[in-house]
Structure 1
Amino acid sequence: MNALLTAALDAAGHGWPVLPLRPGAKRPALHGEAACTRTGPCAGGHVKWEQRATTDTGRIRAAWSAGAFNVGIATGPAGLVVVDLDRPKTNADAPGGATTFLALCERAGQPVPTTRRVRTASGGTHLYFTAPAGGRLANTAGTLAPLVDTRAWGGYVVAVGSTTPAGTYTLEDDRPPAPLPEWLRAALTPRQPIRGVSVAPVAVSASRAATAALTAETAAVAAQTEPGRNKRLLEGARALGRFVAWGDLPRQVVEEAFQVAGEAAGLPPAECRATIRSALNWSIRTARPRTAS
């Protein structure tokens, strides 16, 4: 039995549907829609590679007996989310995906997840996770952090044992994929368009200036995309601290409003609370008297 057939059967044995990739490459070996003859599996209409990926050992043996195809794993049907930590393609001294992902984990107050780990042919890393139940996560490219991509529905990853001119995909940690951490799921879940953020009721005694500032700052935080969400939350909460110090707004109202805005922007709840608390403590402590402002 050849090594690539073994690799395909091994992936299928985990319950992960596989598809043949071009020999020595990473693109699917299956025909595209433009070249579809509407025969065989496509007799009723073009069947895309994600639908044709299979765990059927008979089909796998038949496919890989026809050539030295690399192996792709269709991540969506496999119930996987794979985080791809890439290496810089030009400037070797620039931070790679492993570095930016570590920084992302630190900002979230979380350790780098321990899970199944594959070293890619180019020296990057694939982290395998089981997808959360309910909903379908899609692929992302640089959404989490620079050189950090993800593959889920609509995507595939090159499986262990596949080889390209850059090298071979090798297994570094063979433990089963861990469940996708909740903070990562939240970061990867698309946010609905925000027309306005509903903040906590403002005290009747609040000044118009304080109310307007709270509305504007929380809306700006909610609309902020990565990178810069935590920084914008910090700046917004600091800008409102003076109104708390002057007695124009209750601290609880400000905290609740920014908590809603930060979570709407996709930040983890714990990260929001810590940032808001730190920002308000600093702003209240350093606020100048109203007459001096």
Structure 2
Amino acid sequence: MSRDLIAAALDCAARGWHVFPITPRGKYPLRGFTAWEQHATTDPDVIARFWERRPCNIGVACGPSHLVVIDLDQPKPSEHPPADHANRGLATGEDVFRNLCERHGQPYPADTFTVTTRRGGTHLYFTAPPGITLGNTSGDKGNGLGPLIDTRGRGGYVVGPGSFVALPDGTGTYTITNPAPPAPLPAWLAERLATPPTAAPSSTRPRLGDLDHLDHARLSRYGRAALTGEVERVAGAPVGGRNRALNLAAWKLGKLIARNVLPREVVEHALTEAAKTANAHGDPNSPREIAAVIAAGIIAGMRG
């Protein structure tokens, strides 16, 4: 099994995809790899050495790999499609996606790298469109594609082919079913995923432009984009993952502080406001805890 996983990880790397270890028989980043997007690599020597020591599953970091992956899921036993979908026979993620393609007058994009997942779902791999940064979607939330469909781009990962997952909701291997190179993401899908939701954004979710303490003239376009992305990720962090998201954001932005791309006081204030927004759901983290996590992350990032 270990040799198979090494070969599978090296095959991903040979395709130019950045990989990192996820838990054996599981699907979450290995402890110590919370900054998995930074740890992900295509270096065959690093990959071989690590996987020889431990037969981990394979995570494919979509952002650095320039991938967008569409995940067409099978419903879990407790999941039932919305009534309007059930009435049209749309029971799986593939059903919903094929229907979406039909409604847009587009063919189902089958001629691309494809993986069958452990529960019989499908991962369709595409190359990310140039000049557009696509993040992640879940179901029909925001600008998602529909129930039982997730997408993974920057800031997201998928379980790579060759991985074996054994969890209560399903057991199986992620298997390549179409080895063709990833096709470019169809333009209509790129446009759909890049279009902001029509609903007004929540007033509790801060955007950089809403933080009136910032002197915008002090920020480069790159610095502003980096800060905006991290602010929104921290603000949307789930209960149980807030400190990890906050620490990672502070670490990444600390690197930009060290390069004089961003002022430290701007980063501290923006991340504090984002953490306060995340507190709106569930038990809040204390101001002291928030400040400590931000400070530790920034210091670590500035040290490199």
Structure 2-normalised TM-score?
0.57
Instruction: Note if 1:161 corresponds to 2:162.
Output: yes
Deviation sequence 1:85-109 (CA, Å, 0-9, x none): 0000125875110000011001101
Q: Specify the code of the residue in structure 2 equivalent to 1:111.
A: P
Structure 1: give runs of 5+ residues left out of the alignment.
34-47, 196-293
Query: Once the 2 structures are TM-superposed, how far is the Cα of residue 151 of structure 1 from its aligned partner?
Result: 0.5
Query: Once the 2 structures are TM-superposed, how far is the Cα of residue 135 of structure 1 from its aligned partner?
Result: 2.4
Q: Specify the code of the residue in structure 2 equivalent to 1:8.
A: A
Match among 16, 21, 38 for residue 51 of structure 1: 38
2:246 is aligned to: none
Match among 108, 111, 115 for residue 107 of structure 2: 111
Q: Specify the code of the residue in structure 1 equivalent to 2:179.
A: D
2:59 is aligned to: 72
Instruction: Note if 1:173 corresponds to 2:163.
Output: no
**Distance in structure 1 (CA, Å) of the matches to 2:114 and 2:150:** 15
**Distance in structure 1 (CA, Å) of the matches to 2:26 and 2:5:** 13
2:126–2:185 CA contact under 8 A, matched in 1: yes
CA RMSD of aligned residues (A): 1.9
2:16–2:42 CA contact under 8 A, matched in 1: yes
2:147 is aligned to: 146
Query: Once the 2 structures are TM-superposed, how far is the Cα of residue 194 of structure 1 from its aligned partner?
Result: 8.6
Residues paired across the two proteins, number: 181
1:134 is aligned to: 131
Deviation sequence 1:29-82 (CA, Å, 0-9, x none): 14266xxxxxxxxxxxxxx11011000111111211121100111011001000
Deviation sequence 1:237-261 (CA, Å, 0-9, x none): xxxxxxxxxxxxxxxxxxxxxxxxx
Note closer, same or farther for the CA distance 1:23–1:192 as it changes in structure 2 (3 Å cut).
Answer: closer
Note closer, same or farther for the CA distance 1:194–1:87 as it changes in structure 2 (3 Å cut).
Answer: closer
SS in 2 for 1:19: strand
SS in 1 for 2:97: helix
Query: Once the 2 structures are TM-superposed, how far is the Cα of residue 191 of structure 1 from its aligned partner?
Result: 2.2
Structure 1-normalised TM-score?
0.59
Q: Specify the code of the residue in structure 2 equivalent to 1:179.
A: P
The runs of at least 4 consecutive aligned structure 1 residues that moved more than 6 Å come to 192-195
SS in 1 for 2:123: strand
SS in 1 for 2:53: coil
Q: How does 1:77-116 map to 2 (within 5 A)?
A: 77-90=64-77, 94=81, 95-114=91-110, 115-116=112-113
Give the percent of matched residue pairs that are identical in Structure 1 and Structure 2.
Answer: 49
Query: Once the 2 structures are TM-superposed, how far is the Cα of residue 116 of structure 1 from its aligned partner?
Result: 1.2
1:264 is aligned to: none
Structure 2: give runs of 5+ residues left out of the alignment.
82-90, 201-304
1:20–1:30 CA contact under 8 A, matched in 2: no
